[in-house]
Every structure is written in structure tokens, then in C-alpha cells.
Structure 1
Amino acid sequence: MTGTVRVSDVAKEFGRVKAVCGASFQLEAGELVALIGHNGAGKTTLMKLMLGLIRPTSGAVEVLGDNPAAGEFAGRRQLGYLPENVSFDAALTGRESLAFYARLKREPTAKALELLDTVGLGAASRRRVNTYSKGMRQRLGLAQALIGHPRVLLLDEPTTGLDPELRQTFYEIIARLAAEGATVLLSSHALTELEERAGRVIIMNRGIKVADGSIERLRNIARLPTKIRLKVAGLSGSKMPGWVPSDAVCRRLNGHIVEIDAVPDRKIELLHRATAAGNAIEDVDVIAPTLDELYAHFLRQAERTP
């Protein structure tokens, strides 16, 4: 893979506020990366640094081999950006808005207007933006970000206001762009949506990068327990099956469900015990730590670090 974005020991201060503190990472072509953190963690500031809208207080940012804050940033036309709070001229129609951004990017207008159908605005393209709902304006913002088949796509809370069907379409679009070699950096609080879609997660806390890696790698680092849920026939009262180790953390969820917290080193052992011949197991679910749980873990860990 080829690096498209490099953030090297970057700090950004706004007066006394330290928005980003010594962050370093590299984004590769073809990656779909989730950038997550609480409000004020530095996510939007990082995107603005990559766009060249602001300059770092210290450190360096490189996008497509160049400094985005330079006066003549050649790669700017190859960037797509959807801000958290999208805004358009309310007097223009959807078509006119997209044609305007196509001209700014020096891209063919006809090609850009095809994106209105892609995001489900074809039928409303000749309506003025002031008649659009929040979700429709978000769709228009997404179409704007996709103009010119960008090599780097920066998306700040992109699914806000989108209905479930369009959210699915949105993720299909960005997955296709990543498969074709684009770098996609997506900031969102909708962690459940990202869990099965992001190939990599960067977690920010108070301007500091506290975790970076695939979800599987973060699970290995965090070593949070996996939940093993077993439907057991013939249980009575509140007792546990005899095969459950005495030192295992477990609970009864209802009359027939036993849930065991399995640390990484004991998952296979506990599954073997549960499914051994003679045990009345009717069903098994193995639930790995979710992205929500990993996020909470790394934030707690960061707060404990002096």
C-alpha cells in the first residue's frame, strides 16, 4: 500500500486550548479508517489540518506528498470533504449547488450531476435547497464530497440524518471507493455502524491518540473478556451447570441461558467444556468485545495514565 496522509507529531493549539497533542499516524491508499472520540477530542481539527484550512502549531502534515497548508496545494482537487454541519446556499437547487462545486473542482458538470441519483436526490434535484430536509441536505453534502472520484475522502459525522436505507447505500459507496484505492477517513459517534466496516480504528482522547489498529488488534491489546452465551436444557433454579469452572465469572440471564466471561486465553477451554458429550447445550453464541466496549476501555485507560 501507498501512504497518502502522514501526520507527524502534530500539535494544534487555539490560545490555551490544546486541540491536538503530538498525534502521529499514516493513512494508506485503500484504507477505510474510523476516527473516533468524544466531542472535543481533536477529530475535526485533524481533518481541517489535512485539508489545509488551519496550520499545525508544531509537527507536520503531508497529504498526497505535499503540505496541505501551502499556498499551492496541488492535491486539493483530489480531496473530498463532508463537514459535520453541512451548509448550502438555500436559494440554489440541488443541481445548481452540485454544478457550482464541480466548477470549483474543475470537474465535468454532467459527471458530477450523476451523483444526485447515486445519493437518492435525482427526483428532488430541481428543488431549492431551502425545501430540503436535514437528511436531504446531508445527501447533497455527500454528493459534493464525491465529486471527482477523490483519492482522499474525509467524512465528519456523514450518516447524521440519513435513513437506514441510505446509510447502507452510503457505506456501499465508500467501501467501493476504498476498494478502488481511495483513502477514507470517517469520524462518527455511531460505533455500531463502524464495527463491521472499518478496517482500522484511531481513538482520540483530549487531543491525544490513545489507540490505533484493526478492531482485532485492539481486542488483543485490551484483553477484554469474550461473552459465551449458552442455551442449556434442563436447568432448574439458579444453579450453574457442573462443567462451569468454579473460578469463572458467569451469570444466568433467564431460565435457560448461561453467560460466561471468557478471558482470551480461556475461550477454547470453556467452549470445549460446554460442548463436551453429555452436556445439554442447545445453542451457543460467542460475542467478542464490541467497538463501544473497546472505546470505553481505552478512554478509561487514558484517564488513568498520568
Structure 2
Amino acid sequence: MSNTVEIDNVSKRYGRIEAVRGVSFALPPGETVALVGHNGAGKTTLIKLMLGLVHPTEGSVKILGEHPAAGEFAARRRLGYLPENVSFNAALTGRELLSFYARLKGESPTQAMALLDRVGLAAAASRRVGTYSKGMRQRLGLAQALIGEPALLLLDEPTTGLDPALRQSFYEIVQELRDRGATVVLSSHALTELEERTDRVVIINRGLMVANGSLDALRRIARLPTRIRLHLTGGRPPHLPGWLEAAGAWRPVNGHVVELDALPEQKMDLLRQAIHADHALEDIEVVPPTLDELYAHFLRSQEDAR
């Protein structure tokens, strides 16, 4: 099966500013990808390149088998896009606005109306958008992005303004689309939120791609320690067992929890020793490096290499 997105050695310059520099990656169907980077890193430029709103200075972009820079970009009708800051005509109702976007994409306005219910706006469909809260406008933006069940969905800070329940509903919709074969690109600063919801992470810094892979793959590359927390029965004894003392960087968390860092090659051995130790354990927590920690690591690595 061919890739949904193919970015090949792409650079984009605005005068003297090089927003994207020599980036290459491919995204297959049925994958959720987190596009991660600080403000100004190049994320939004990459999204605009995929949408065909701007063209690369160098390299090539191929979306659903077409080159947006080549002229007619018919595949755009199979794309969905939610910008970071949604802006709609405040005088239109939610129903009128969604009908307008459905017609732009050649879709049935009647079928598009079901999306208002899907994002929790059915009761507000007849209200003018100017009366909507920020969270409601964000949900309306998501509804327009979903028109026509896009094969590629590009979402820039999609959960801004959504409460926890609506965030959960949003990610359920994303999962449904992915299960149907759509490629979903999530650009967000909410890294903890993305951690368990993406198949792959692409990290961008200063226009360069500094990491690309699954969380497991990035953890193997980064070799950051895993935190192991031992919950000891009856509180921490005055003298810890020899194996724990020998483990090195352990630290008390509270009266009955001890935490230590384990490098990848140490983790299984330390866990086996903990399970077979003489003292009783109530629980063991294994906390792998988080996406926040991986993001900071790869950015530091890039800065150190300069």
C-alpha cells in the first residue's frame, strides 16, 4: 500500500528565514503521528506544505499520490484540516457554516449535519457562531475537518479549549478514523496527552527533523533510564538490602516507597532482584521515559551537536 504522505528532502525559505531544512519522512495509511516541536520549530510550515498552501523551496511533497506544487491538487478534497486558531463568520449558525464547508468539498450538507451531533453541537446548531464559546468553536472546527471522512487529517493544537470529557471524545473520533485507514497528524504541545495515542513521533527543532519513530524506538535510541518504584510493606527498613544499595542512584519517595533509575540493560535484572528479595513488596511501578523527557533529550542532543 502506498504512503499517504511522502516528504523528500524538503526545505522552505521565507526570504532569509529557513523554516524547514532538509526534512524527509513518509506516513502510511492507518497511522497516528505526533508532530512535536516548540513554537517556530517548523511544524505549521510542514502542515501548510502538506495542504498545498505553500510550496517547497527545495525537495518534493507528495500527498495521496499527488504533488501539491504541480498545479491542480484534486486530493485536497480528501484532506481535513483544523488550524490552531479557528476563525469563522460569526453571523452564520453552526448548521449554515457546516453546510457551506460541505459544499466546498462537494459533500452532501445533509450528511455533514451528523457531524454536529458527533462533536456535541447538535443542540447549538441553530445558534449563531458568534455566541459560541472557545471550546464550542473548536468543536465546530473539528466537525468541518471531518467532512467527507478524510484520508489525511491534519490537526494543529486540536484540543485547545476542550474539557477532559470532550478531549476523550475527540481522541475516540481520531481512533475511529485511523481504524478506517486514515492518516492522522497531531501537532500539539500537550505531550502527556499524546503519549499513549500516537503510533509515531516526529520531533522538529529549528526546521530540522531531530527524531522520527515510535515511542519504543525513541526510548531505545535515547537510552534514558526507567524509573522503578518499590512500595515496601510496613515502611522502609533501616537497612536496605544489599542489591538495592549496590544499584546506586536510589532515593526515598516517602516513608515506604523507594525509587531508583535503571538503564535499559539493567531494568530486567533489577526487577528480578526486587521480586525475589527477602523484604516484602506491596507493589512495583515501572515508569519508562515520558514523551516530555524524550523531547527534551533529543533537543539537547541537537544543541550539543552544533
Residue of structure 2 in register with 1:242 after alignment: 242
CA distance 1:61–1:275, change in 2 (3 Å): same
**8 Å CA contact 2:236, 2:257 repeated in 1:** no
Give the 3 Å change call, closer, same or farther, for CA 16–240 of structure 1 in structure 2: farther
- Aligned residue for 2:166? 166
Structure 2 CA distance for partners of 1:219 and 1:236, relative to 1, 3 Å: closer
Aligned to 2:76: 76
Deviation at 1:74, TM superposition (A): 1.4
Cα deviation 1:28-59 (Å, max 9, x = unaligned): 10010000000011000000001110111111
Distance 1:257-1:106 versus aligned 2 partners, 3 A rule: same
The answer on 1:280 being equivalent to 2:280 is yes
TM-score, scaled to structure 1: 0.97
- Tell me how far 1:171 sits from its aligned partner: 0.4
Specify the code of the residue in structure 2 equivalent to 1:155. Answer: L
- 1:71 Cα shift? 2.6
**1:274 Cα deviation from its structure 2 partner:** 1.1
Within-5 A mapping of 1:148-167: 148-167=148-167
**CA distance in 2 between partners of 1:245 and 1:297 (Å):** 28
Cα distance in 1 for residues equivalent to 2:233 and 2:76? 62
- Would you say the 8 A contact 2:10–2:23 is kept in 1? yes
The answer on 1:140 being equivalent to 2:124 is no
Hey, what does 2:260 align to over in structure 1? 260
Give the secondary structure class of the aligned counterpart of 1:244.
helix
Structure 1 contact 223–264 (Cα < 8 Å) conserved = yes
CA drift at 1:281: 1.4
Inter-partner Cα distance in structure 2 for 1:207 and 1:138: 27
The letter of the residue matching 2:29 is A
SS at match of 2:159: coil
2:96 alignment partner in structure 1: 96
Aligned AA (2:26): Q
Paired with 1:27 and 1:71, the residues of 2 have a C-alpha distance of: 22
Moved more, 234-243 or 221-230: 234-243
Report the AA paired with residue 161 of structure 1.
Answer: G
The equivalent residue for 2:45 is 45
The percent identity for this pair of structures is: 64
- Is the counterpart of residue 123 in structure 1 residue 113 in structure 2? no
CA distance in 1: counterparts of 2:23 and 2:239, whole angstroms: 51
Give the equivalent residue in structure 2 for 1:64. 64
TM-score by length of 2: 0.97
Distance 1:53 1:235 in 2: 61
Greater shift, 230-239 or 287-296, is seen at: 230-239
SS of residue matched to 1:60: strand
* Structure 1 residues without counterparts, runs of 5 or longer: none
Between 1:244-253 and 1:211-220, the stretch displaced more is: 244-253
CA distance in 2, matches of 1:193, 1:243: 36
Cα shift at 1:239 = 4.9
Contact 1:155 1:187 in 2 (8 A): yes
2:237 is aligned with 1:230: no
Give me the whole-angstrom Cα distance separating, in 1, the residues matched to 2:288 and 2:74: 44
The residue aligned with 1:302 is 302
Verify the 8 A CA contact 1:238 1:252 in the aligned structure 2: no
Counterpart amino acid of residue 138 in structure 1 = Q
**Deviation per residue, 1:192-218 (Å, 9 max, x gap):** 111111000000001000000000100
Give the aligned length. 306
Contact 1:51 1:69 in 2 (8 A): no
CA contact (8 A) 2:10 2:58 kept: yes
Contact 2:249-2:261 within 8 A present in 1 as well: yes
